Amino acid sequence: MKKLPRDLSSDDLCKALSVLGYEVTRQTGSHIRLTTREGGEHHITIPRHSPLRVGTVAAVLAEVAAHLGTTRKELQERLFGE
């Protein structure tokens, strides 16, 4: 499995997640809230940092993967290629 991107900004992650139907629903301070209605309504909050910490990216992807009923590995390959 390819490593998670090390230079991913919050804007890059938002753009990647938009492919899965996530849209920015609000920004409060330094956090962005994304919402999708795919597979039921789901919200995720990510910090507005550049770059994001690898653990933060991993946690966000794990939560999104759980909502979509897939693995983090499959989701990572879908979003960032092989």
Written as six digits, the tokens of 16 are: 């990647």
Distance, in Å, from the CA atom of 82 to the CA atom of 78, rounded to the nearest integer, reads 8
Q: Which domains does the chain have, with CATH numbers?
A: 10-80 (3.30.920.30)
Give the pLDDT confidence of 56-69 residue by residue, as tens digits. Answer: 999 999 999 999 99
Distance, in Å, from the CA atom of 60 to the CA atom of 21, rounded to the nearest integer, reads 15
The more confidently predicted of residues 36 and 3 is 36
Neighbours of 21 (CB within 10 A): 14
Neighbours of 71 (CB within 10 A): 13
Taking a C-beta distance cutoff of 8 angstroms, is the pair 48, 56 a contact?
no
Give the pLDDT confidence of 11-49 residue by residue, as tens digits. Answer: 999 999 999 999 999 998 999 999 999 889 999 999 999
